[in-house]
Amino acid sequence: MSVAVAHAVSVAVRPKKPRRLGVRVLWVAITAVVIGATMSAHIKWDRLADFPASLVRYLRLMFLPPDWASFGQALTATIESVEMAWLGTVLGIVVSFPLSFLAASGVAPRWVRLPMRGLFGLLRAVPEVVIAIIILSVTGLTPFTGALAIGIGSIGTLGKWGYESIENAERGPMVAALTCGASPVQVMRWGLWPTVAPEVFAFWLYRFEINVRASAVLGLIGAGGIGSMLVQNVQYRNWSTVGMLFIVVVVVTMMIDGVSGRIRTKIVTGRWRG
């Protein structure tokens, strides 16, 4: 009798099978979007079979052997791209840092905070290449154009990271500063900034890493640096020089990433990464 009762109870409380109609509709929609995007891209599928052979051919032209005589010129162009990225990052930091406080909850009023966040969102939505094209009519195709575009593009990202760090900061030090009679400026300087400084510094370094890659892309439209040299040599089919450019830019970028990563780890954790 007890077995029958237990069986009846188990049948009674058995959960219903969840309906997955919404998930299925979502997957169908995603599949339709992917298929539509693929069809509208006009991909020549018959040429994909030739891609591996073509890739091997061009790699052989670029790296067997690379043009070692152009090493100095490639290094100079890469350094120019790094300088462009550094200047753009500094410009972005100088502008975005004070604006981050105006976009943070608990620091600025709503009527100031919301427009500032909208500005950050707008700047994040516009690629650096588009910004460079817009401002080149004023500044011309110079490395400064690339640095200015990187700086403007960095404001949106750095501003967002900044106000999120401020909002997530511990309130204890700020409350202690207020208790001691500190002014609002002193509260931010001694109660807020020491708490968020490691995270903000790490964000600044990470953005510099991103900007190094962006500077190479901006060079493709004539803003100087490694991108400009790359376009010129591709146009004239100087593949061995292109190979040398790839080697230099990859090595320099990896070195910057490694050093920056170690510094960020030291800032955030207090110890050097092994």
Q: CA-to-CA distance for 19 and 25, rounded, in angstroms?
A: 12
The pLDDT value recorded for residue 12 is 52
Question: Is the CA virtual torsion 158, 160, 162, 168 positive or negative?
Answer: negative
Q: pLDDT above 70 covers what percent of the chain? A: 88
Task: Give the largest CA-CA distance in the chain.
Answer: 93
Are 206 and 262 spatial neighbours (Cβ–Cβ below 8 Å)?
no
* pLDDT at residue number 94: 92
Residue-level pLDDT at 245 = 86
The residue ranges of the chain whose pLDDT is under 50 are none
**Residue partners of 100: CB distance under 8 A and separation at least 6:** 158, 159, 161, 162, 163, 165, 166
The total of other beta-carbon atoms located within 10 Å of residue 53's CB is 9
Structural domains of the chain, with CATH: 68-269 (1.10.3720.10)
Q: 3-state DSSP helix/strand/coil percent for the chain, to nearest 5?
A: 80, 0, 20
pLDDT of residue 5: 53
Give, in order, the Cα–Cα distances in Å from 200 to each of 20, 153, 197, 228, 268: 43, 17, 5, 32, 10
Q: What is the pLDDT of residues 156-213, one digit of tens each?
A: 889 888 888 888 877 777 777 777 777 777 777 777 777 788 888 888 888 888 888 8
Residue type, 226: I
Q: Give the pLDDT confidence score for residue 91 in this predicted structure.
A: 92
Q: Is the pTM of this model over 0.95?
A: no
